[in-house]
Amino acid sequence: MKIYDEKHIKNVVLIGATKSGKTTFAETMLFEAGITNRRGTVEEKNTISDYHEIEHERGSSVYATTLHTEWRDYKINIIDTPGLDDFIGEVVSAVRVCDTALVLLNAQNGLEVGTELLWDYVNKFNKPTIIAINQLDRDRADFNHTLEQSKKFFGNAVTVMQYPLNVGLSFNCIVDVLNMVMYSFPETGGKPKKLPIPEDEMERAEKLHNDLVEKAAENDEELMELYFQKGNLDEDELRKGLKIGMMKHQIFPVFCVCARKNMGVGRIMGFIDNVAPSAIEMPPEVTEQGSPVPCDPAKPTRLFVFKTLVEPHLGRLSFFKVLSGEVATGMELQNETTSVTERIGQLFIADGKNRNPIERLKAGDIGCTLKLKNTNVNHTLNGKGAKDNIAPIQFPEPKIRVAILTKNKQDDDKLGEVLSEMHQEDPTVIIEYNREAKQIILHVMGELHLSVTKWILEHIYKIPVEFTKAKIPYRETIQKPSMASYKHKKQSGGAGQFGEVYMKIEPYFEGMPQLTEFQVRDTEVTELPWGGKLVFNNCIVGGVIDARFIPSILKGIMERMNEGPLTGSYVRDVRVSVYDGKMHAVDSNDISFKIAGMMAFRDAFHQAEPLLLEPIHNVEVAVPDTMMGDVMTELQGCRSMIMNMEVDNGYQVIKARTPMAELDKFFHSLRSVSQGRAKVRSHFADYAPVPFEMQKQLVDEYRKTEMAEK
């Protein structure tokens, strides 16, 4: 296979809502370039891109799939991505490593919700963008409506390169205002004839051409001067201006295409070759320390791993972009994260499930390798002379959490291993063992993501599982001071057990006054693993409790704080002062004072107006104006406190504080009331008191569960 240099490699990510035709477009690109001799279809389940069993079953993309084609001395790496935000992790990593985003719009449906949500990441990474309006041969296709929606959403950068004639079932012609020619396609598609633009279309075509030239000129002072001098720009000058405009996000070229019939695909491929920037022309990647990494084949080798895929019969595939230098089979590279040396045994160019062996790859290229044991997504592999990690991909936070358990207990160990593998493949699948709730918690992006995860576990790994509601990690604390004592006495022949402890407990808060009621001999502050603090004052004087038993009292208190008296939740933010007690010369020991400390703390806690705290999340919801009222109603119905409202990029942004216990309900209803158009983010903020009636209900439920278990 031919080795391409950094100037002749173009990396393109296909973005668009589900059913916009991305997979068909990719299939046609490979066919048009002669990489394949027949085109598969999604319906026949034989496309190169969507090759996983789950994709065949669903009829749409679940994974981002890497492909390549070669077109007029250029290599185009293509990543076909899913169209649903449930699989946004696949999209984010693909957008990060590609140099141009090709956004496909379905001419029947216009600008769809999925496209709006996915666009945020293209915009965030500031990727040069091409818009392709697809499916112009369909009965309900409407190019003008889709174009107007695009201009409204993407802004003035939308720039028409082509417009169609005969839209609908008889679609067969595209007017190209860049080259000022009309492409006429045979009924079945394929190679078009180049014809003059019809006279009745010339006025429209010339106006669009002039608009295009002006847009290209205004992005560069030199081109602007040439435009004023000549009144036009030649082909090379236009290319230069368009490329600059695309890189500044000032020009989003619009093309017409019917991928299903191979109409217009070759023209877009030619534009990618001639105009779309290569990696060497893009701003360099940066390290975590902020140092730039130019795409230079003469620099030390540096690979950035953006995706891993575990395939049952092959093992782990690691997909990477060569950021600098070149990589060859047999090379040994240092993993900057794990400090492990990895050997590149084989190199491949991937086309779906097909792996094309290659000896080496140069800067700017995308490839994959097998069996890197200690390398995962976001890891950097450096050759001699390179150091530091590349700044990692920031994946969005999952929105849904459920508890997962196996139907067969013998699968428990296997489940942990498989979930770890799934997280390596998709970092938006997050696994957490909640010791407090004694549950394995699975965090995913949405209901569909959850159902696909279950399908993979049961069909690929043969682990039947079920999902249950994840318990909320409540916390317990107190509202007022209280005092209690406890005498532990046990005699059963021989040495007995004796320990008596007197203590005062108080709600702890930062900056609270020092204790003056008792003489404090020593203070120990413990930062609790679950948040909050325990402040322990040793106020024992006169030797009523030997100093060697004080740690045992503290240990007993900590054990009780691991399982609070109200609901078995962790206890936080308490100051405990042990001020008196008794011991026995023979029968006192560590276990006696541990039990006495634990029970005295329990009794004091019940008298101190116990309070249950619940986790609160900061929630940020961006919605169109027309849906704001419905979303506000849903938030308020989920016990949310609205904190702020502002406008951002045409959306109303609502900021609220919402209890974690209500989030699943809110996320589910939000998708319905916003018709999937809402953008939502949430992250843990702090703990707040549970309403009184709810606390009573939770305490009663806990006591019933305890009684049932006894």
Q: Kindly report the CA angle at 352 between 346 and 357, in degrees rounded to 5?
A: 25
Neighbouring CB atoms inside 10 A of 647's CB total: 10
- Could you give the angle at which helices 221-230 and 235-247 cross, rounded to 10 degrees? 140
* Alpha-helical regions (H) of 650-691: 660-673
Residue 493: its pLDDT value, please? 66
Q: Which CATH entry fits the domain spanning 400-471: 3.20.20.220, 3.40.50.1820, 3.30.70.870, 1.10.10.10?
A: 3.30.70.870
Contact 189, 214 (CB under 8 A): no
Burial of 204 (0-12, 13-18, 19+ CB in 10 A): middle
Contact 9, 75 (CB under 8 A): yes
Residue type, 283: P
d(CA 547, CA 268): 81
Neighbouring CB atoms inside 10 A of 526's CB total: 14
Structural domain boundaries of the chain?
6-281, 290-382, 400-471, 476-608, 614-693
Residue 115: its pLDDT value, please? 85
Q: Which two tokens stand for residue 672?
A: 């319905």
Residue 175: its pLDDT value, please? 97
CATH code for the structural domain at 614-693? 3.30.70.240
Strands 252-256 and 158-160 come out as parallel
Q: Which two tokens stand for residue 226?
A: 């040439």
Q: Which CATH entry fits the domain spanning 6-281: 3.10.105.10, 3.30.360.10, 1.10.3210.50, 3.40.50.300?
A: 3.40.50.300
Of 198, 205, 184, whose CA–CA distance to 263 is shortest?
184
| DSSP letters for 129-179 | EEEEEE-TTSTT--HHHHHHHHHHHH-TTEEESEEEES-STT--EEEETTT
Predicted TM-score of the model (pTM): 0.88
- Could you give the angle at which helices 550-561 and 590-606 cross, rounded to 10 degrees? 50
List phi, psi (to 5°) of 407.
Answer: -80, -25
Longest dimension (CA), the chain: 114
User: For the CA atoms of 653, 658, 660, 661, what is the dihedral angle to 10 degrees?
Assistant: -120
User: What percent of the residues of the chain are helix, what percent strand, and what percent coil, each to the nearest 5?
Assistant: 30, 30, 35
Q: Does domain 290-382 have CATH number 2.40.30.10?
A: yes
Burial of 608 (0-12, 13-18, 19+ CB in 10 A): buried
Q: Which two tokens stand for residue 440?
A: 């394995």
d(CA 697, CA 701): 6
CATH topology of domain 476-608: Ribosomal Protein S5; domain 2 (3.30.230)
Encode 575-590: b = buried (16+ Cβ within 10 Å), e = exposed: bbbbbbbebeeebbbe
d(CA 134, CA 136): 6
Contact 613, 475 (CB under 8 A): yes
In the chain (710 residues long), the average pLDDT of successive 10-residue segments reads 88 94 95 89 90 87 94 94 92 96 96 84 92 96 96 93 94 95 93 95 95 90 84 86 94 96 95 94 94 94 94 85 96 94 94 92 96 93 93 92 94 92 92 88 93 93 94 95 95 82 96 92 94 96 93 96 92 97 92 96 96 96 88 93 87 93 90 84 93 94 80
614-693 matches 400-471 in CATH topology: yes
Q: Which residues does 21 contact at the CB level (< 8 Å), separation at least 6?
A: 104, 106, 134, 135, 259, 260
Q: Containing H/E element for 418?
A: helix 412-425
